[in-house]
Amino acid sequence: AQSVAQPEDQVNVAEGNPLTVKCTYSVSGNPYLFWYVQYPNRGLQFLLKYITGDNLVKGSYGFEAEFNKSQTSFHLKKPSALVSDSALYFCAVRDRASGTYKYIFGTGTRLKVLA
Amino acid sequence: NAGVTQTPKFQVLKTGQSMTLQCAQDMNHNSMYWYRQDPGMGLRLIYYSASEGTTDKGEVPNGYNVSRLNKREFSLRLESAAPSQTSVYFCASSETGQEGHTQYFGPGTRLTVL
């Protein structure tokens, strides 16, 4: 069965420091992988996705993520955190081999950037 | 371009009441989805519609029905609301022709069932 794990409920980082939000997945085939961000009382906004090719994917607002097939991970990173990055982050996966349109979301990681 | 819109934004129901959550998208997307978001559980798929005229169950379909009214609109109905259906509901859409099928989300409906 497909699954996504975000092992940290919350990540705290000081402004200006690098940040990492972790995601690991389990799918039977090759995945499409996504990161979304949710600000308070808002819907989810797309940040970036991995389809194929370069393992390092760059997205919106200076975020990037690295696809690691051997570790089945897709960690979200940013070189220098901003207070405005504080939000809830979701990793999601879709198995491209399944032929379905079902996406599996992780439980979310709350990022707090401290001034 | 409004993207994905949802109505209402907030709703309070009594146990046993019914209601329909409305969702519309103006991006000409083929696929639409309904999710619920509960604390500590992330987003769980209730139903989805891969294209106009088709609907399929997701992870948590019990207690819900859906209608894909046309390409733009996808409604979610609670026939007899229960307190366990207290949640935030999100509608999303995606274009099936696009590699990877990025989803675009509405602002959500916060539903409380007493």
pLDDT computed for residue B73 by the predictor: 97
B98, pLDDT greater than 60? no
What tokens does A7 get?
């092992």
CB of B107 closer than 8 Å to CB of A42? yes
* Mean per-residue pLDDT of chain B: 92
**Closest residue in chain B to residue A40, using alpha carbons only:** B107
What does the alpha-carbon distance between residue B114 and residue B57 come to, in Å, rounded to a whole number?
26
- Given the DSSP bridges, would you call strands A87-95 and A73-78 parallel, antiparallel or unpaired? unpaired
Cβ distance of A101 and B96 shorter than 8 Å: yes
Distance separating alpha carbons of residues B81 and B91, to the nearest angstrom: 19
Can you give the pLDDT at residue A59?
93
- A107, burial (CB in 10 Å: exposed 0-12, middle 13-18, buried 19+): middle
What mean pLDDT do residues B77-82 have?
96
Bigger pLDDT: A102 vs A85? A85
Among candidate residues B8, B5, B6, the one with its CA nearest the CA of residue B112: B8
Give the pLDDT of residue A105. Answer: 92
A106 touches chain B (CB under 8 A): yes
State phi, psi for A83 to the nearest 5 degrees: -55, -35
Q: Is A107's CB within 8 Å of B104's CB? A: no
Do A35 and A63 contact (CB within 8 A), yes or no?
A: yes
Q: For testing the chain B interface, which of A2, A38, A44 should be mutated: the one with the most B CBs within 10 Å?
A: A44
Dist CA A108 CA A74 (whole Å): 14
Q: Which among B31, B41, B58 is the nearest to A107, CB-wise?
A: B41
> Measured between CB atoms, does A44 come within 8 Å of chain B?
yes
* CB contact at 8 A, A67 and A3: no
- A92 contacts in chain B (CB < 8 Å): 43
Chain A residues near residue B92 by CB distance under 8 angstroms: 44
Confidence tier at B95 by pLDDT (50, 70, 90): confident
DSSP class of residue A30? P
